[in-house]
Chains A and B, each alone.
Chain A
Amino acid sequence: MSISVDEIKWLAKLSKLDFDDERAAAFSGDFDEIVEFADRINSQIAGDTTKIREVGGSEIAFADLRKDEVKESLPVEKVTSNVVSEGGYFTVRRVVK
């Protein structure tokens, strides 16, 4: 199995990462190795996967969920204290002109 440079760049775009041609080419060997490793499951099972259950889905019942009640939130000034913020909002560069 070999993953092309274009595929690496497409995956990078989906992952919000930047891979230029040079980096994608250097990465593809490494990535091939890990995909080949993941591909071992295809020697274990083939065909229909429609019977699959959601992971953990059978173990959590609605009765186990907490009541849908409004509780105290974290203080806004604390939540925004780590990054650039103004007036209780996270600040980024102007998007709309």
Chain B
Amino acid sequence: MTATLKQLSRLLRDKEISSVQLTRKYIEVIENRDPQINSYVTRCFDEALLAAERADKMIARGEAAPLTGIPFALKDNICTDGIETTCCSKILSGFKPYYDATAYKKLKDICAPLLGKTNMDEFAMGSTSETSCFGAPKNPRDLNRVTGGSSGGSAAAVAAGLAPFALGSDTGGSVRQPAAFCGVVGFKPTYGAVSRYGLIAYGSSLDQIGAIALSVEDAAIVFNAVKGEDERDMTSRKCPDIGELTGDIKGMKVGVVSEFFEGLSPEIKGAVERALKGLESCGATICEYSAPSLKSALPVYYIIACAEASSNLGRYDGIRYGFRAQNYSSVDDMIIKTRTQGFGKEVQKRIMLGTYVLSGGYLDAYYKKACLLRESIKEDFNELFERCDILVAPTAPNTAFPLGYTQNNAVEMYLSDMCTVPVNIAGLPAVSLPCGSDKSGLPIGVQIIGSPFNDSTTLNAAHALELCGVSKCKPEKGGVEL
């Protein structure tokens, strides 16, 4: 059986297992199992064992934090001082950051051993993790399917039992959607609740670091460890601790927005409806609403995200980071050749779209309109949260695609983000958790969405689904068992 983070913490504190022993167990299963899954792109086992030794000393001194000594995995777009961080892009090959991301530093400071960096879509641009320059990770629930993306490696590592928890990043659903595809819990906190310092930027007004774990309680423990205001990220905010989750939701008003349910397969709709019945059985009231502005959420998201990406990725010039093209005639030629050879096809497409929507003549037609529509989406959510406490929606309109399927179906891949991107546009907290499976046995995810900085209410409602038996989550066989 698999222990929860709370149980692992107790086992470590009671000296029933040492952090070194626990870390070795994970190293062993990663070495045996990951060649089939490809969830890790960089392994840092030596560093992990050193951190585990420090953790054991910290525990012996009685100074342990809840995650001290518990190993974890980190998405490859979160900077780690001296450890390669590539965003799974050729352009950052060999790049070793010279500072730690704040969220990672918080885990490092309490001696949580980092097992390695996880696979992802190049620069987090994608919904399948197939744009990685290291090749796609495979879904542990079915090795012929994608993991989802962009935090596919993190979700796959947790689902396969190759890490008890992982950090990912969520710009348009990149924590929640792979969590749904791999049958684990993915929590995207309120925008600003976790510092973005050291998270390699994609769409800065949308990006948010989140947790992937095997239960809602575990996700809350990880969130508590990494959250908080950071002077290096002016958008970060103080955020209260998530206390004990009781799952008590008596009297809670749960909103169902019809736009989230359009065009769903009967299997996914049925699974989400069962989750709603579960919440009702716990004492919540279900109310139905409509928010027409959500229909514009996908194009709004792609315009804003690509506009910000075209600017953020301007820094990759071959001078300051990783890869530099050979055989150039001038500095300008070097920059152009470096970027053309270093960025993959999807990244180049999004840079081009971002440049297009920001360029003279098109700024008003696209970018400014997208920003205006963003405000109306935010206002619609504000109004909804005046009438209810949480919203419930599917995480994705489909289960995991077969590998390679979206390569010639780009728009279909973008459409698969329809249920997750509104949350990023409005900066809301949301958690995805399993709520059943389709006829092929692939996991289906349900999403609980809360109002800004009500991360606690959001997680508590999700925990209620676990307590009433609607949501169950366990790793595939072959992972670490305790």
Contact = CB atoms under 8 A, between A and B. Distances in A.
B299 A40 contact: yes
B250 to A, nearest CB: 33
A92 B302 CA distance: 35
B364 A49 contact: yes
A83 B331 contact: no
Interface string B362-399: 00111011111111000000000000000000000000
Contacts of B300: 41
B134 interface: no
Contacts of B298: 37, 40
Interface string A1-16: 0010000100110111
Interface centre among A14, A53, A64 (most CB of B within 10 A): A14
B123 to A, nearest CB: 14
Contacts of A41: 296, 299-300, 303, 366, 369-370, 373
A56 interface: yes
A44 B98 contact: no
B348 interface: yes
Interface stretch (B7-15, B151-159, B353-361, B468-476): B353-361
A84 interface: yes
A95 interface: yes
Contact of B337 (A18, A34, A38): A18
What's the interface size class on B, roughly?
Answer: 35 or more
Contacts of A40: 296, 298-299
A54 B96 CA distance: 34
Contacts of A52: 368, 371-372, 375
Interface stretch (B60-68, B241-249, B278-286, B319-327): B319-327
B410 A60 contact: no
B259 to A, nearest CB: 13
A38 B352 contact: no
Contacts of B353: 31, 34-35, 38
Contacts of B205: 55-56
Interface residues of A, number: 46
A55 B235 CA distance: 12
A39 interface: yes
B411 interface: yes
Contact of A37 (B302, B334, B337): B302
A51 B365 contact: no
B36 interface: no
Interface in A12-36: 12, 14-18, 27, 30-31, 33-35
Nearest to A60: B234
B140 to A, nearest CB: 31
Contacts of A74: 98-99
Contact of B368 (A27, A49, A59, A75): A49
Nearest to B293: A44
Nearest to B338: A16
Contacts of B304: 55
A49 to B, nearest CB: 4
Contacts of A38: 299, 302-303, 353, 357, 366
B225 interface: no
A55 B377 CA distance: 13
Given A56-B235, A95-B331, A33 B411 contact: yes
Contacts of B359: 11, 14
27 contacts: A11-B355, A15-B351, A16-B335, A18-B336, A18-B340, A30-B410, A31-B352, A31-B353, A34-B302, A37-B298, A38-B366, A39-B299, A42-B365, A45-B296, A52-B371, A52-B375, A53-B371, A55-B304, A55-B374, A56-B205, A60-B235, A64-B234, A65-B234, A82-B96, A83-B321, A90-B320, A93-B331
Given A17-B339, A31-B352, 16 more contacts: A11-B352, A11-B356, A15-B339, A40-B298, A41-B303, A41-B366, A41-B373, A44-B295, A45-B372, A49-B371, A52-B368, A53-B375, A59-B235, A82-B98, A83-B321, A93-B328
